[in-house]
Amino acid sequence: MVTCIFLIILVVSLANKTTDRNKNIFILGGQSNMSGRGGVVNNIFDGFIPPECQSNSSILRLTKGLTYEEAKEPIHQDNDFFAICGICPGMSFANFVLKNDPKIGVIGLVPCDVGATNISQWSQGSIFYNQMLNRTWTLLWYQGETETLNDDAKLYKSRLYKFFTDVRDDLNTPSLPIIQVALASKFGPYTEEIRQAQLETQLQNVKTVDANGLKIGPDFVLLSTPSEVQLGQILANAFLGFGSARNSLEVID
């Protein structure tokens, strides 16, 4: 079973090298529920695209070839290529942000997720970590399912804090906005320990949204299509709540 662990949405305003139009870049990283399994049954995607996830000319995605194209679900398939991808929170997130802040301009979604990875595999210096840093300036994080299975869950809080601190230090951005998601599922016996660590995170410019109550499938891990849509909107509200602070990390390439 592919375990859903986390989602990273890293946000930065930067100018694209080939255009004068500024983009707001959102890095989408982590595992299954970020990559999206909404609408996937028996390794087959049903093809249903909710209205909240429809394409928009102002929503682009960065391909594996490092070129931008109009984003269309499933937007992670060429990144998480060992799995069958479906609906993720990304398009719902982007459409909701555009609807509520039309002046934001073009949104660029950058998939950086890898199914079935744990937080240690994203530690400083790892392949996933280094690839993420090459694309990252602000972070939204959804992770922790694998740790609910192991008795080292007591180490999760310190590892999470170290991860956030390492990313900020390596980017030389101590105020990097971070939005993390507290687990929706009750996958393993240490779920409450992981959720407590997430909900009690006390770092500057870090927000935690709670996915508890979102509908999950019979595997007790993967979110349904409506839940992926709802999570995207929850994340968008958290992002919009940063207000002027989300415009403080402007970088010109």
Q: What is the pLDDT of residues 192-210, one digit of tens each?
A: 999 999 999 999 999 999 9
Average pLDDT over the chain, rounded to an integer: 80
Taking CA atoms, 56 is separated from 61, 103, 108, in Å, by: 11, 15, 11
DSSP characters for the chain?
-PPP--EEEEEEEEE-TT-SSEEEEEEEEESHHHH--BTEETTEE-----GGG---TTEEEE-TTS-EEE--SSTTTTTSTTS---B-HHHHHHHHHHHH-GGG-EEEEEEEE-TT--GGGGSTTSHHHHHHHTT-SSEEEE--TGGGGSGGGGGHHHHHHHHHHHHHHHTT-TT--EEEEE-----STTHHHHHHHHHT---TTEEEEE-TTS-B-TTSSSBPHHHHHHHHHHHHHHHHTTGGGGGS-EEE-
pLDDT tens digit string along 149-192? Answer: 888 899 999 999 998 999 888 878 888 888 899 999 888 999 99
Q: Which CATH superfamily is domain 7-252 in?
A: SGNH hydrolase (3.40.50.1110)
CA dist 242 and 106 (Å) reads: 18
Query: What is the number of residues in the chain?
Result: 253
Classify residue 68 by its DSSP letter. E
CA dist 6 and 144 (Å) reads: 7
All structural domains of the chain with their residue ranges = 7-252
Quick one: pLDDT at residue 116? 55
Query: Hey, what are 224's tokens?
Result: 């349904």
Query: Hey, what are 148's tokens?
Result: 């609910």
Q: What percent of the chain has pLDDT over 70?
A: 79
pLDDT tens digit string along 211-232? Answer: 999 999 888 888 999 999 999 9
Quick one: pLDDT at residue 52? 98
Quick one: pLDDT at residue 113? 59
Q: Classify each residue of 102-141 as buried b or exposed e, where b means 16 or more C-beta atoms within 10 Å of its C-beta.
A: eebebbbbbbbbbbbbbbeebeeeeebbeebbebbbbbbb
Quick one: pLDDT at residue 111? 82
CA dist 26 and 185 (Å) reads: 24
pTM of the predicted model as reported, rounded to 2 decimal places: 0.81
Quick one: pLDDT at residue 105? 86
Quick one: pLDDT at residue 245? 57
Residue of 28 and 213 predicted with greater confidence = 213
> 49: how many CB neighbours lie within 10 A of its CB?
18
CA dist 32 and 34 (Å) reads: 5
Quick one: pLDDT at residue 143? 81
